[in-house]
């Protein structure tokens, strides 16, 4: 059995005749034998629940299971994975030999859990290493070419401005090409700005702020297409939190821009805030085209983009900003249904403060 709060799910089951526990079945953790095993983290033996006042009304009796022997299964960090157990339709005290066999199965399962755990740790470590290496490379790139690119871009921009003034009465085709040049210069400047911002972040200018007020201030200045319906669900009981207002503004800008671009034919964008234990959650939910599963884990990677003119740094910058706030960001998405991005920022003092 595997814990999936608030449920416990049948992870693996024997093929014994009349076994009512099928793989994938799940039940609420309420009054079950395994619930006690999980809470106490100890072995539980019930020879006959019908003769036991504590257990004579538990849900498993409805399935005819009156005896139980179960042990907790642990991840290497001592967190409970679930239980391994045996149940019987009749009274059964389970011999020492039987208990020894179950303990052997428990050891085998926990060995596999340890392999899975360390494999996941290595994968996470490797992904983090690659991510940081990419950022370091971008940092070197930004330092070396930032000014080298900006200077000629400035010259080109000034030249376009001059030519636009001198040729304002010229042929439409000429004016069109000047606008195209202007647009590409702006896009190149944006790339350089993203590069420099991405690699220069290390400290925050923190102040106590109302996240709901910051959202409303941002939205007042943001021009949504007429075919986008905005829905706010803000929890005004939220406490003030320490934030860098300018950087959080940038986070909103990048996330909302992506949501709008994902709904070229219109749709709904919901923004919700709520308290979750010691965290403030900000949730952005759109009804756009969604992100294919194959790309979902890549969206925060530097230079990854599926857009024709995408730079691939916007969400990387968002992730860096949120992590500097000692927070986290998560994404859920389904193709043709939409994307939900959740930001979690903790209360309390933060270390990355200037």
Which band of pLDDT confidence, cut at 50, 70 and 90, is reported for residue 169? Answer: confident
For residues 278 and 130, the model is more confident at: 278
Q: What percent of the chain stands above pLDDT 90?
A: 45
pLDDT at residue 191 in the model: 66
pLDDT at residue 82 in the model: 94
Burial (CB count <10 Å: 0-12, 13-18, 19+), residue 317: buried
Which band of pLDDT confidence, cut at 50, 70 and 90, is reported for residue 2? Answer: very high
pLDDT at residue 16 in the model: 81
Residue 350 clears pLDDT 90, i.e. is over it: no
**Longest CA span, the chain:** 99
pLDDT at residue 225 in the model: 93
Give start and end residues of each alpha helix (H) in 167-311: 172-200, 211-221, 245-261, 293-296
pLDDT at residue 311 in the model: 54
Residue 221 clears pLDDT 60, i.e. is over it: yes
Which band of pLDDT confidence, cut at 50, 70 and 90, is reported for residue 69? Answer: very high
Mean pLDDT of the chain: 86
pLDDT tens sequence across 41-67: 999 999 999 999 889 888 888 888 999
* Number of residues written out for the chain: 354
Domains and CATH numbers, the chain: 2-94 (3.30.450.40), 123-200 (1.10.287), 207-346 (3.30.565.10)
The full DSSP string for 24-89 is T-EEESSS-HHHHHHHHTS-EEES-GGG-TTTTT-GGGGGT--EEEEEEEE-TTS-EEEEEEEEES
Which band of pLDDT confidence, cut at 50, 70 and 90, is reported for residue 184? Answer: confident
pLDDT at residue 139 in the model: 66
pLDDT at residue 118 in the model: 87
Strand partners for 209: 241
Which band of pLDDT confidence, cut at 50, 70 and 90, is reported for residue 343? Answer: very high
User: Whole-model pTM above 0.75?
Assistant: no
């Amino acid at each position: 059995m595997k814990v999936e709060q608030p449920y416990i799910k049948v992870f693996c089951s024997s093929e014994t005749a009349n076994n009512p526990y099928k793989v994938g079945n799940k039940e609420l953790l309420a009054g079950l034998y395994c619930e006690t095993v999980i809470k106490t983290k100890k072995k539980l033996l019930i020879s006959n629940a019908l003769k036991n006042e504590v257990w004579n009304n538990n849900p498993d009796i409805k399935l005819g299971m009156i005896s139980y022997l179960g042990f907790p299964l642990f991840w290497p960090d001592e967190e409970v994975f679930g239980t391994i157990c045996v149940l019987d339709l009749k009274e059964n005290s389970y011999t020492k030999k039987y208990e020894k066999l179950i303990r052997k199965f428990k050891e085998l399962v926990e060995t596999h859990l340890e392999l899975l755990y360390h494999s996941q740790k290595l994968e996470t470590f490797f992904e983090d290493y690659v991510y940081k290496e990419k950022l370091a490379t971008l940092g070197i790139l930004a330092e070396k070419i930032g000014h080298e690119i900006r200077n000629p871009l400035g010259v080109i921009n000034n030249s376009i401005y001059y030519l636009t003034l001198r040729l304002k009465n010229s042929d439409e085709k000429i004016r069109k090409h000047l606008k195209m040049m202007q647009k590409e210069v702006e896009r190149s400047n944006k790339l350089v700005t993203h590069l420099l911002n991405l690699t220069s972040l290390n400290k925050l200018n923190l102040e106590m702020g109302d996240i709901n007020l910051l959202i409303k201030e941002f939205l007042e200045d943001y021009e949504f297409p007429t075919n986008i319906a905005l829905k706010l669900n803000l929890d005004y009981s939220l406490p003030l939190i320490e934030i860098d207002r300018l950087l959080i503004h940038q986070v909103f800008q990048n996330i909302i821009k992506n949501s709008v671009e994902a709904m070229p034919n219109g749709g709904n964008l919901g923004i919700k805030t709520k308290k979750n234990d010691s965290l403030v959650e900000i949730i952005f939910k759109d009804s756009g085209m969604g992100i294919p599963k194959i790309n979902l884990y890549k969206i925060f990677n530097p230079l990854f983009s599926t857009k024709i003119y995408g730079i691939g740094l916007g969400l990387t910058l968002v992730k860096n900003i949120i992590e500097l706030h000692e927070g986290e960001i998560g994404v859920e998405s389904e193709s043709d249904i939409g994307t939900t991005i959740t930001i979690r920022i903790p209360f309390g003092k933060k270390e990355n403060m200037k």
